[in-house]
């Protein structure tokens, strides 16, 4: 194997394999350098091993689900959006199915099938993949990028280098933030990197007692002096605090606010469909029905059993109190807690435990048309290494594929023009 190529791709993850395949398919000689012993480790564990590979919604809706610089991806997602990704997977022999919330999974429910298809596409298009090879330096001269140096000292030359090293979450998959160091060393700005889509640790200990309990159809608000964010849906109690879809989405704001040093409170509306008067009426009916019971045994129609003592304690009510002795004021205090059960967010779990990183190489320094650096000609950056992050639902992978597609096409096209 030679050491000079048209295009080098650093990182054989979601974005890298797509970029490599596209560049090679356009006629470029492509070498992919991957530091792990296997390609696309993160894709292989994505979606709990099932890989939520994209979301079958219109491009505008994809962009709405990318709170971290979604606008930067407008062109890329319109060029290579969910429909194009489904066509790509079908052509690679990966049938897909659409589940709740338009989430797309392989019919096989096997993330390896997606990763293998990406690897196969890159190889079949002509790209060479070298595993177990970490890139430690980007080489440049006055004209732009000229190649890379690997950890073992090997130098590879190319006039175009696509950096797809991912973010900093789940470092065991190989994404350890190397791309931020590589890009910063050639002059790029790296915005502060924080976890997103990550569980939250609470100051209160009582969530531990409810570990494993999922609340459905609740409204969860996060409030700080810097803003307010609300999500409706499921909340999961864990041995350290809270998780589940509402919390993962809210964690993006929580991480930013906590990093700014302000306190963050969580308010859980356990009965968002009932306004306070309707809820009071409901309590009165339940209390009439169970008037001879102790209050802890008279709320099972309203709440999961395990949550009852927590709610009663928050309302300052003795769980042994006979229901017929509960005063109007006590009932109203209880209704108030049902509409506003509070927790204090102590911290997010660390970046290593997050699904994605928010922050990364500044998108201001990258051309959104082709992901090329505005600072170093011939250098492209795509995927989670950039300051781009999305919500759950298949949007992070879709973003990575769209960026990889744009960079790979552009690099392949350019190498054809220069040869
Ligand atoms: C547990 C988990 C589940 C997820 N589930 C989903 C999901 O179902 N749907 C979804 O849309 N998103 C999901 N995501 C997010 C999604 O997987 C990532 O956003 C996406 O993989 C990012 O793609 P990427 O190509 O930028 O980086 P990665 O896929 O992380 O690939 C980066 C590659 O670069 C390599 N690399 C790093 N440094 C170097 C170096 N110095 N030299 C050579 N190679 C290097 C790494 O080893 C890795 O192979 C999940 C993430 C996690 C952690």
What pLDDT does 44 receive? 98
Atom of ligand 1 nearest to the CA of 55: 11
Res 2: pLDDT = 78
Pocket test for ligand 1, best of 396, 398, 408 (most atoms within 8 A of CB): 396
Query: Looking at residue 8, what is its pLDDT?
Result: 98
Exposure of 232 in the CB half-sphere (CA atoms within 13 A): 4
Beta bridge partners of 202: 345
Cα(356) to centroid(ligand 1), Å: 8
| pLDDT per position as a tens digit, 113-146 | 999 999 999 999 999 999 999 999 999 999 999 9
Indicate if ligand 1 lies below 6 Å from the C-beta of 134: yes
Centre of ligand 1 to C-alpha 45, Å, is: 10
Let me know: does 31 contact 156? Beta carbons within 8 Å: yes
> Whose C-alpha lies nearest to ligand 1, atom 29?
13
Location of structure tokens 């979601």: 14
Interior angle at CA 26, CA 25 and CA 29, nearest 5: 80
Ligand 1 centre and the CA of 327: distance in Å? 56
Tell which residue, 162, 377, 345, has the closest CA to residue 263.
345
Q: What is the CATH number of domain 196-271+344-348?
A: 2.40.30
3-state secondary structure the chain: CCCECCEEEECCCHHHHHHHHHHHHCCCCEEEECCCCCCCHHHHHHHHHCCCCEECCCHHHHHHCCCECHHHHHHHHHHCCHHHHHHHHHHCCCCEEEEHHHEEEECCCCHHHHHHHHHHHHHHCCCEEECCCCEEEEEEECCEEEEEEECCCCEEECCEEEECCCCCCCHHHCCCCHHHHHHHHCCCCEEEEEEECCCEEECCCHHHHCCCCEEEEEEEEEEECCEEEEEEEEEEECCCEEECHHHHHHHHHHHHHHHCCCCEEEEEECCCCCCHHHHHHHHHHHHHHCCCCEHHHCCCCCCCHHHHHHHHHHCCCCCCCEHHHCCHHHHHHHHHHHHCEEEEEEEECCHHHCCEEEEEECHHHECCCCCEECCCCCEEECCCCECCECCCCCHHHHHHHHHHHHHHHHHHHHHHHHC
Angstrom distance (rounded) from CA 388 to CA 66? 7
CATH architecture of 7-194+357-418: 3-Layer(bba) Sandwich (3.50)
Protein residue with its CA nearest to atom 38 in ligand 1: 165
- Residue 3's closest CA among 165, 153, 118? 153
Domain boundaries, the chain: 7-194+357-418, 196-271+344-348, 276-342
Tokens matching residue 339? 């509409």
Rg (C-alpha) for the chain, rounded Å, is 25
What's the rounded Cα separation, in Å, for the pair 224 and 62?
28
Phi, psi of 251 (to 5 degrees): -60, -25
Closest CA to 38 of 153, 133, 154, 161: 133
- Residues 148 and 95: their CA atoms lie apart, in Å, by 37
Q: How does pLDDT run across 15-73, given as a tens digit for each residue?
A: 999 999 999 999 999 999 999 999 999 999 999 999 999 999 999 999 999 999 999 99
CA 411 to centroid of ligand 1, rounded, Å: 21
Q: Which of 227, 220, 218 is nearest to 262 (CA)?
A: 227
For ligand 1, whether the C-beta of 119 sits within 6 Å is no
Choose one of 9, 42, 357 to mutate for the ligand 1 pocket test, by most ligand atoms within 8 angstroms of C-beta: 42
Global pTM?
0.96
Counting ligand 1 atoms within 8 A of each CB, the residue from 397, 401, 407 with the most, and so the one to mutate, is 397
Listed as ranges, residues in the chain with pLDDT below 70 are 419
Contact (CB, 8 A) for 23 and 113:
no
Ligand 1 contact via 178 beta carbon (within 6 Å): yes
Ligand 1 lined by 280 (C-beta under 6 Å)? no
pLDDT value at position 417? 86
Ligand 1 touching residue 165 (CB < 6 A): yes
Q: Quick one: which of 392, 397, 51 has its CA closest to 244? A: 392
CB 392 within 8 A of CB 367: no
Mutate to test the pocket of ligand 1, among 166, 384, 385 (most ligand atoms within 8 A of CB): 166
- Residue 182 contacts residue 135 (beta carbons within 8 Å): yes
Ligand 1 lined by 82 (C-beta under 6 Å): no
Specify whether the CB–CB gap between 214 and 243 falls below 8 A. Answer: no
């Amino acid at each position: 194997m030679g050491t000079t190529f048209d295009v080098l791709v650093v990182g054989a993850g979601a974005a890298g394999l797509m970029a490599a395949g596209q560049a090679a398919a356009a006629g470029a000689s492509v070498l992919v350098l991957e530091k792990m012993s296997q390609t696309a480790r993160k894709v292989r564990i994505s979606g709990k091993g099932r890989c939520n590979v994209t979301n079958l919604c219109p491009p505008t809706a994809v962009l709405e689900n990318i709170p971290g610089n979604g606008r930067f991806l407008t062109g890329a997602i319109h060029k290579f959006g969910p429909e194009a990704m489904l066509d790509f997977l079908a052509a690679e022999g990966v049938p897909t199915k659409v589940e709740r919330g338009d989430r797309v999974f392989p019919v096989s429910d096997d993330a390896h099938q997606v990763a293998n298809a990406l690897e196969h596409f890159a190889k079949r298009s002509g790209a060479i993949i070298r595993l177990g090879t970490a890139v430690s330096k980007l080489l440049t001269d006055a004209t732009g990028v000229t190649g890379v140096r690997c950890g073992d000292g090997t130098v590879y030359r190319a006039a175009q280098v696509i950096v797809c090293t991912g973010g900093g979450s789940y470092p065991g998959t190989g994404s350890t933030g190397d791309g931020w160091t590589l890009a910063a060393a050639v002059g790029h700005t790296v915005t502060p990197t924080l976890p997103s889509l990550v569980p939250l640790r609470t100051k209160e200990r009582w969530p531990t007692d409810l570990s494993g309990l999922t609340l459905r159809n609740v409204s969860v608000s996060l409030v700080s002096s810097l803003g307010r964010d609300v999500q409706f849906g499921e909340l999961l109690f864990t041995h350290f605090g809270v998780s589940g879809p509402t919390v993962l989405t809210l964690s993006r704001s929580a991480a930013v606010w906590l990093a700014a040093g302000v306190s963050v409170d969580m308010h859980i509306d356990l009965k968002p469909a009932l306004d306070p008067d309707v809820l009071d009426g409901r309590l009165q009916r339940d209390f009439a029905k169970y008037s001879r019971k102790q209050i802890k045994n008279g709320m099972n129609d309203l709440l999961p059993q395990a949550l009852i003592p927590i709610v009663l304690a928050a309302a300052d009510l003795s769980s042994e109190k006979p229901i017929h002795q509960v005063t109007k004021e006590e009932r109203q205090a209880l209704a108030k807690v049902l509409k506003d059960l509070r927790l204090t967010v102590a911290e997010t779990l660390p970046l290593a435990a997050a699904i994605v990183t928010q922050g990364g190489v500044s998108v201001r320094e990258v051309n959104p048309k082709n992901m090329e650096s505005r600072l170093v000609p011939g250098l492209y950056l795509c995927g989670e290494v950039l300051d781009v992050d999305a919500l759950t639902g298949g949007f992070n992978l879709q973003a990575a594929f769209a960026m990889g597609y744009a960079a790979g096409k552009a690099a392949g096209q350019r190498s054809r023009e220069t040869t």
